Amino acid sequence: MTSLFDLTGKRAIVTGSTRGIGRAIAEAMIASGARVVISNEDVEDTKQVAEELGQPGIAADVTSQADLEILVAGTRTELGGIDILVCNAGITGAPGPFASVDMNDYDRVMALNLRSQVELANLALPHIAEAGGGAAILMSSISALRGNAAINAYALSKAGVSQLARNLAVEWGPRNVRVNAIAPGFIATELSRPLLENEEFMRRRMQMTPLRRPGRPEEIAGVAVFLASQAGSFVTGQTIVADGGTVITDGS
């Protein structure tokens, strides 16, 4: 019996896949049998990680329509088609409330976190449908599900990503394309190191998390493999929360 989580023969794009959660997703999909195009806006970074993982690499700034077109066309050339799309690239932006928001920063966050996913989905999903169907996985956040006074544009963009997953699921479901979002909680990555080293933050945040620890990138990658594989074949339009229980706790 073929494993429900087997991705043998599947062809995937994973944006922001040279580090952190994106790299973990790429590695997990490769381990499950998929071929994965590694992509980051940095050419050398993309080339290095692609070589390390033995996969094609295509550098792309996801805020550039031209780069996204090159990414999709290049993936079809390198892999022969597309079955899986993972829109992982994103930024946090400047912290602070909306009352003091820098609108230039706001525009960049929305362009990178939300608009880029709309544009990349529009470019890639027709090819996934033509291949007989597949899956798109968008990266949301638990900030999409809660109020937050510190990460304004980021939280708003991630709420938009969850709605985008629902809309695209309705639009593309009849052509056998499933679209879901993942909402990670606090994950231990190189980018989160300053927070991991902040004892006061960690004490407060872990008190809010029933599992009392940060997540690991591979724990988000496991959700992505589930959503891309036969195991998740009847799941679409959902935002899957992987946060150690943060959004359900009263902090006790």
> Whole-angstrom Cα distance, residue 169 to residue 241?
17
Do the beta carbons of residue 50 and residue 116 sit within 8 Å? no
Estimate to the nearest angstrom the gap between the alpha carbon of 237 and the chain centroid. 15
- Residue 57 carries which side chain, given as an amino acid letter? G
Contact 229, 7 (CB under 8 A): yes
Q: How many CB atoms lie within 10 A of CB 228?
A: 29
Residues known to be catalytic: 154
Taking alpha carbons only, the member of 160, 175, 172, 173 closest to residue 239 is 160
With a CB cutoff of 8 Å and minimum separation 6, the contacts of 207 are 251
202 Cβ contact partners less than 8 Å away, ≥ 6 residues apart = 195, 196
